[in-house]
Amino acid sequence: MNWKHVRQKTKPTREREMSRTEVAWEILCFFSLVLVRPVVFFLLVWLSLEFGLHAVLHFPFEGVPSLDELRTYKPMRTTLLYDRYGKPFARFFIEDRVELPLSEISPWMPMAVIAAEDTRFLSHGGVSLLSIARAALENRRAGAIRQGGSTITQQLARNMFLSHERTMERKLRETIIAFRLEHEFSKEQILEKYLNEIYFGRGAWGVETASRVYFGKSAKALSLGEAAMLTGLIPSPNRLNPGASPDAAEAGKRRVLARMFETGIISPEERTESEPPLALVPEPGNHPSEHMKYPYYAMRILIDTLLPEYGVRGAYGGGLHVFTMLDPDLQETAEDIASKSKFQLAIVGLESETGGVRALVGGKDWDESQFDRAVQAYRQPGSAFKPLIYAALFEEKGWRPGTKILDTPISFGSGRGRWSPRNYDGKYHGSVTVETAIIRSLNVPAVRAFLTAGKDAVEETVRSLGITTPHLPENPTMALGSASLTPLEMAVAFSAFGNGGYRVSPFLVREIRDDEGEILFTTKGKKQRVLSEETANGIRNILVKAVESGTGRAARIAGFQVFGKTGTTNDFRDAWFVGGIPGFCAAVYVGNDDRKPLGKGATGGRIAAPLWKEFVARAAGVLAPSASFPKSAADAAPKPRPAEEKRSTEETGPKAPHAHQEIRPHEQRPTPTPITIAPLPAEATGGSGTAPAAPRPLIIESETDKRLRELLKQYNLERE
């Protein structure tokens, strides 16, 4: 037997030996796989879940907010306006919502919501498979979609970011957002957001607004029954709310109470005590009239401050807390006065020391007309403007109340363009003091005062006092109130006479805070000296006498020193009274929007002054000011004038304007209400509107006849 035969004989044996080795290896591998496979499977599943969770939390799905967007999300919140006592009087909103922390909400509310909407809320991760299965069975049994199986977290996701359409795509987004909410916020935070986010019907978003709409109380004070009723509205707020169906609302309340009893949250006694019908506020709702108690004041803040500073979303949805200067007593008094008037009118009242506007009314009825005549109606103030002219004369030339000025005929222009200002009584009184001219509201001396001070000085003084109108004429008609301006401007200007010569900047808002209490804006009231104390007090003292014995007698208030001036324009179209008491200044304007006359004899003293008195008398009772203005050195005898100006006006007459000044009565800036030079305002003409048959000669006294002729030629004045 050779080696070949040996190999042949032994080969099978060797093959069998190798097969045994392979079998042993296979057995070992099999048992290894049996032991290792669960581990590998677990690893694969774990990695898949990690990938899926990461995708759910971080992948930028279309229409699904990121975690950063969830963290920074703010719902639309109501902007609230508060009066000076901290009581809300107006709300601006797209969704009427006031957010509250969970600690400020009655504990019955979250318990009722969890029992009725999501019993497993505290244990699930955002989506409840049991709830979905239960809803599916219920829908199958009903043959229609009755339940959605959504958790509180899913409902929050839908309300925050999604529509209410019933599609699989929306449901998928809702689920992803719910997982992200659960990852980012605690259960307490989610429940707080839910109660502040959801809609309860009747324009009420969030539990705080709903509680006030239906029960007239804060959500912190909700009883068990009230919390159950609000919870019962959640499935269908428009159909189930007490305003739409009281019976359905009561039935919803009982269902929620039953569910709370079944889950062991309340006892049988608590359920029984809460089942009787609830007392609701009269006609539960959220009517637009309830949003703004004082619309003229509130809308001024919206238009002038909130919209320019914060935009539409900030003003209507930023949850701003706006603290104002409004005094409800004064505002209601002004609105009551306005509502009883047969004419349109405006009333403005402000603190003369700070400029804080305590009341502002721009018409008889906001629902009838939203035109705010206090700040939007440019009207001629008539004689009420004269104190501003004399203030310029006092500042520019050093004149004082006792300085003499001529009340004698004067004319401008020639032919049909001729203008001859006259007094209300149609008479001239020769040489009179400035004090007499103002008290008796004489027109001719006011025109001479304008010429003496000079156009530039008058305009500078008027502007410095707070007159911002673009409709300011540049000729002597300004002396008789031909400018077109607003009641607010006049109130601001007259404040300088009451506070010793300071211009104040009017403001309605003193502070704005965000929903977290951070101060966004504050106003303390700005003052700027624009008149000397001598000038301010001198004009004020004259205006006090004008009320005591002049044209403003109807504005006298017993026990208080009052200063003020009447104003009446052509054909009795506008009636004014502007003035104040210590610490407070007010302007009242009366007129018709179509510019029809108020009626013969309807002067500022007869029409506006009594209304002003009624309003300011109320202010005196509310503000309790001093009875009289403080005495000062300014009330002493006038200071000597410069040497070249010492000659009295009886000797020299009023000085002419500066050489470069042009007086063109018929070339004025366009105004909303055209200025009529002839006939003159009623207080200037006595109501007749016709020129004297034989006017006395024009008297302009000067140092030499040559200077007189130069003046006449330069300013196109005629001597008769």
CA 130 to chain centre: 51
Q: Does residue 344 contact residue 593 with C-beta atoms inside 8 Å? A: yes
Neighbours of 719 (CB within 10 A): 13
Cis peptide before 276 (omega within 30 of 0): no
Please report whether residue 600 resides in a domain.
Answer: yes
Please check the confidence at residue 711 and state whether its pLDDT lies above 70: no
In sequence order, what DSSP letters do the residues of 113-142 get, joined into one string? HHHHH-TTTTTSSS--HHHHHHHHHHHHHH
Is residue 691 predicted with pLDDT exceeding 80? no
Q: Are residues 53 and 102 in the same domain?
A: no
**pLDDT > 50? residue 327:** yes
Longest dimension (CA), the chain: 173
At residue 670, the pLDDT reads: 34
pLDDT in tens, 453-470: 999 999 999 999 999 999
Question: Do 263 and 363 belong to one domain?
Answer: no
Count CA atoms closer than 13 A to 216's CA, side-chain side. 8
Distances (CA, A) of 593 to 364, 632, 684: 12, 43, 23
Q: For residue 79, is it within any domain?
A: no
Q: What is the pLDDT of residue 158?
A: 85
**Strand, helix or coil at 91?**
strand
Q: Are residues 126 and 248 in the same domain?
A: yes
The tally of domains found in the chain comes to: 3
Do 665 and 516 lie in one domain? The reply is yes
Same domain (yes/no): 116, 197: yes
Residue whose C-alpha is closest to residue 490's, from 589, 563, 393: 589
First to last CA, the chain: 171
**pLDDT band at residue 183 under the 50/70/90 scheme:** confident
Q: Counting beta carbons within 10 angstroms of the beta carbon of residue 31, is it exposed (0 to 12), middle (13 to 18) or buried (19 or more)?
A: exposed
Q: What is the DSSP letter of 417?
A: G
Q: How far apart are CA 43 and CA 51, in angstroms?
A: 12
Do 117 and 51 fall within a single domain?
no
pLDDT on residue 460? 96
What local confidence, expressed as pLDDT, does residue 208 receive?
Answer: 94
Question: Is pLDDT above 60 for 201?
Answer: yes
Q: Under 8 Å CB-to-CB from 130, ≥6 apart: which residues? A: 120
**Confidence at residue 227, expressed as pLDDT on a 0 to 100 scale:** 96
Contact 194, 156 (CB under 8 A): yes
**Taking 80 as the threshold, does the pLDDT of residue 84 lie above it?**
yes
Which letter does DSSP use for residue 356 in this model?
B
Q: Tokens 């009623």: give the residue.
A: 682
Contacts of 72 (CB under 8 A, 6+ apart): none
Q: Is the pLDDT of residue 614 over 50?
A: yes
Distance CA 148, CA 152 (A): 11
Q: Does residue 494 surpass a pLDDT of 70?
A: yes
29: in domain: yes
Position 231 in a domain? yes
Query: Does 1 score more than 50 pLDDT?
Result: no
Separation of alpha carbons 143 and 168, rounded Å: 19
Looking at residue 686, its pLDDT comes to 32
pLDDT at position 41, please?
52
Q: Assess if residue 548 is contained within a domain.
A: yes
SS3 assignment, position 609? helix
The CA distance from 495 to 78, in Å, is: 35
Asked, for residue 392, whether it belongs to a domain, the answer is yes
Q: What is the number of alpha carbons within 13 Å of residue 367 lying toward its C-beta?
A: 6
- Residues paired with residue 407 on neighbouring β-strands, in sequence order: 430
H helices of 2-142, in order, are 3-58, 67-72, 108-117, 129-142
Judge contact between 393 and 454, C-beta under 8 A.
no
Map tokens 């829908």 to a residue: 139
Range of the domain at 265: 97-289
Strand partners, 250: none
Task: Specify whether 48 is located in the same domain as 112.
Answer: no
Residue 560 lies in a domain: yes
> What pLDDT, on a 0 to 100 scale, did the predictor assign at position 27?
57
Least confident of 7-11, 493-497, 583-587: 7-11
Lowest mean pLDDT among 161-175, 219-233, 243-257, 584-598: 161-175
Q: Check whether residue 113 and residue 50 sit in a common domain.
A: no
**Where among 252, 269, 289 does a domain terminate?**
289
* pLDDT interval class at 32 (50, 70, 90): low
List CB contacts of 690: < 8 A, sequence separation 6 or more. 679
Rounded to whole angstroms, the Cα distance separating 383 from 574 reads 11
At CA 185, angle to CA 179 and CA 186, rounded to 5?
110
For the chain, the average pLDDT equals 80
Number of residues written out for the chain: 720
CA 479, CA 492: separation in Å to the nearest integer? 19
Q: Distance between CA 294 and CA 361 in Å, rounded?
A: 9
Supply 537's token pair. Answer: 């007090």
Nearest to 655 by CA among 452, 419, 384, 459: 452
Band of residue 279 on the pLDDT scale cut at 50, 70, 90: confident
Output the six-digit token pair for 467: 């007159």
Tokens representing 614 are 């009624």
471 and 394 in one domain?
A: yes
pLDDT over 90 percentage in the chain: 58
Same domain, 55 and 104: no
The CATH number of residue 191's host domain is 1.10.3810.10
Report whether pLDDT(387) > 70.
Answer: yes
CA distance 536 to 65: 63
Q: Is 308 domain-assigned?
A: no
CATH of the domain at 681: 3.40.710.10
Q: How far, in Å, CA of 36 to CA of 30, rounded?
A: 10
**Residue 323 DSSP SS3:** strand
User: Which of 271, 289, 307 corresponds to the end of one domain?
Assistant: 289
Q: Are residues 356 and 245 in the same domain?
A: no
> Which segment of 150-154, 546-550, 620-624, 644-648 scores lowest on mean pLDDT?
644-648
670 compared with 277, residue with greater pLDDT: 277
Q: Are residues 410 and 527 in the same domain?
A: yes
Q: In the listed set 289, 305, 337, which residue is the last one of a domain according to the structure?
A: 289
